[in-house]
């Protein structure tokens, strides 16, 4: 299976570990997103785990959604399922922790940003490269703005470049950075204080965080998903960016600059 879950109990607290199992880069295609969504729904329905960690197999977190499925034919099926995964995280009455090592790019970073806490190994590679493919990260825009980092959101999204984990921590985008090869210990250090808490009160508290902190986030995600599928996916530069990436050549963008004009549907 592309996604697995293992649970254990520590001092009476149930901890579930969800692992993306699609090496070498744990790319999120529609099948993998569907399985991840089903597992997240199962965790919510069981209502036992109070700590959930999400990580990738093979020392890689996730390199994003499948570029080969970023087409007008396939993306309308992939994107809503992926966004369902992000919203499903907020429906779990538990602390959800992203354990990040290796590549955490595009949809992989969006998946991490959907979690309550993000623990990152210092050698990890984080970024939102979608602009280089002629598109943008829908959830990433919503998530970064919800963290009140407007200027940094613009810089991170428009550059398409990778960011240093320690800089992202200083900016409040991720929560902790650990030394190379010490991610497991960092996760244990994160979890240990929670083990002294009431599992029931943890659940009630996280429900409030998710309701109050993610309510508008979920609504905005639906709006930007619609805009993305109707405006970006049909644009010739979006198809060109994907084709250029798969062919390993520089993209040849359309000559028209900008959108402002009589044909701009936004006006």
The pLDDT score that the predictor gives to residue 264 is 54
Catalytic residue among 110, 121, 190, 225: 110
Q: How many residues does the chain have?
A: 267
Model confidence pLDDT, tens digit, residues 170-179: 999 999 999 9
Q: Are 115 and 96 in contact (CB under 8 A)?
A: yes
* Residue 265 reports pLDDT greater than 80: no
Query: What's the order of all strands across the beta sheet hosting 103-105?
Result: 103-105, 125-127, 162-163
The pLDDT score that the predictor gives to residue 267 is 36
Alpha carbon distance 228, 136 (integer Å):
8
User: 3-196, what's its fold?
Assistant: 2-enoyl-CoA Hydratase; Chain A, domain 1 (3.90.226)
Q: Are 125 and 104 in contact (CB under 8 A)?
A: yes
130 included as an active-site residue: yes
**Given the structure tokens 């549907």, which residue do they identify?**
265
Alpha carbon distance 193, 224 (integer Å):
37
Is pTM beyond 0.85? Reply is yes
The pLDDT score that the predictor gives to residue 258 is 55
* Residue 263 reports pLDDT greater than 60: no
110 included as an active-site residue: yes
Q: Are 109 and 85 in contact (CB under 8 A)?
A: no
* Residue 261 reports pLDDT greater than 50: no
**Among the listed residues 241, 208, 229, the one whose alpha carbon sits nearest the alpha carbon of residue 72:** 229
Burial of 204 per CB tally in 10 Å (0-12, 13-18, 19+): exposed
Q: Spell out the domain ranges in the chain.
A: 3-196
Alpha carbon distance 196, 203 (integer Å):
14
Catalytic residue among 60, 69, 130, 225: 130
> Across-strand partners of 162?
127
Model confidence pLDDT, tens digit, residues 206-256: 999 999 988 888 889 999 999 999 999 988 999 999 999 999 999 999 876
């Amino acid at each position: 299976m592309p996604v697995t879950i293992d649970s254990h109990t520590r001092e009476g607290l149930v901890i579930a570990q969800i692992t993306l199992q699609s090496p070498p880069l744990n790319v999120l295609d529609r099948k993998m997103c569907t399985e991840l969504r089903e597992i997240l729904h199962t965790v919510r329905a069981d209502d036992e785990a109070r700590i959930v960690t999400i990580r990738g197999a093979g020392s890689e977190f996730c390199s994003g959604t499948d570029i080969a499925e970023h087409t007008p034919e396939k993306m309308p099926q992939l994107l809503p399922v992926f966004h369902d995964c992000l919203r499903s995280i907020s429906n779990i009455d538990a602390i959800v922790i992203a354990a990040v090592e290796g590549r955490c790019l595009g949809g992989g970073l969006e998946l991490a940003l959907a979690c309550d806490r993000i623990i990152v190994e210092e050698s990890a590679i984080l970024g939102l490269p979608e602009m280089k493919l002629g598109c943008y990260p829908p959830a990433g825009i919503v998530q970064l703005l919800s963290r009140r980092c407007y200027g940094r959101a613009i810089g991170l999204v428009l550059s398409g470049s990778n960011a240093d984990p320690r800089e992202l921590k200083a900016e409040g985008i991720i929560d902790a950075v650990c030394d190379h090869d010490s991610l497991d210990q960092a996760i244990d250090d994160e979890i240990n204080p929670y083990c002294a808490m009431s599992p029931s009160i943890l659940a009630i508290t996280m429900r409030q965080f998710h309701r109050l902190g993610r309510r508008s986030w979920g609504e905005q995600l639906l709006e930007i998903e619609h805009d993305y599928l109707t405006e970006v996916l049909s644009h010739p530069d979006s198809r060109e960016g994907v084709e250029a990436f798969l062919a390993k050549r520089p993209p040849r963008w359309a000559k028209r600059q900008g959108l402002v004009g009589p044909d701009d549907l936004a006006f």
